[in-house]
Amino acid sequence: MSTETTMEEQVQEVLDKLRPFLLRDGGDVELVEIDEGVVKVRLMGACGSCPSSTITLKAGIERALLEEVPGVTELEQVF
């Protein structure tokens, strides 16, 4: 199993843990890609247009990824 696959699985696991909170507010998150430690995600549904989405990304999702997945350096939102 390659390191990239392992990291992708770990990132997906963290996103799956956070998903119920996003779904409760009418949104969701999708993993787009991981590029040299930078995780790129797309916020969907209500999260895509929510004014608090930046806070959700940085304070919520990015913090969890940095704490739980070795090698993750940053989270980036793609549209």
User: Which residues are CB-contacts of 47 (< 8 A; sequence separation ≥ 6)?
Assistant: 22, 25, 26, 27, 28, 29, 53, 56
User: What pTM was computed for the model?
Assistant: 0.87
- What band does 5 get if pLDDT is binned at 50, 70 and 90? low
For the chain, the structural domain boundaries read 3-77
Q: How far apart are CA 18 and CA 14, in angstroms?
A: 6
- Mean pLDDT, range 74-79, rounded to an integer: 93
Q: What CATH number belongs to 3-77?
A: 3.30.300.130
CA dihedral 38, 39, 44, 50 (to 10 degrees): -50
Q: How far apart are CA 16 and CA 1, in angstroms?
A: 21
